[in-house]
Amino acid sequence: MNLKSYEGQARLSVILAIVGACAALGAAFFMLSALDASNLEINLRAGGRRFLGIMAGIGVGFLAGVIGFFMGLSGAGEKRNKASSLSWMGFFLSAGVLAAVLCLGVFFFFTKNFVG
């Protein structure tokens, strides 16, 4: 994959959007498995594996989303880009991943409850 070409950047943008979406889904799965619906709290042990999995999913999703967003933006609308639609797709998918990860992060920040 040649990252100097717009086509390579477009492909990488879509791949990063997919990676970010998978990381966000993993974090959402861990959050839902620890969710206490009656109190609307996510009960976790401090430093436990589930907490680290949620933080890793949010972090990887955010990083992949940001990089994919700007990679898609750099080639979108360029006249020399033969895969302009792929660039736009990577741009909008990464934007959706960023929105989802930010929502998950805010929800996690306000609902986490560490139990001893």
Per residue in 5-16, pLDDT tens?
Answer: 888 888 999 999
Asked if residue 72 lies in contact with residue 10, where contact means CB atoms within 8 angstroms, the answer is: yes
The string of DSSP letters for 81-113 reads -TTHHHHHHHHHHHHHHHHHHHHHHHHHHHHEE
Higher pLDDT: 66 or 77? It is: 66
For 99, residues 6+ apart whose C-beta sits below 8 A from its C-beta are none
pLDDT given for residue 30 in this prediction: 94
Average pLDDT, the chain: 92
Binned at pLDDT 50, 70 and 90, residue 47 comes out as confident
- β-bridge partners, 43: 113
Predicted pLDDT of residue 66? 97
Q: Supply the pTM of this predicted model.
A: 0.90
Question: For residues 108, 110, 111 and 114, what is the CA-based torsion angle, rounded to 10 degrees?
Answer: 90
Query: Is residue 25 scored above 90 in pLDDT?
Result: yes
pLDDT at 116 over 80: no
Residue % of the chain over a pLDDT of 70: 100
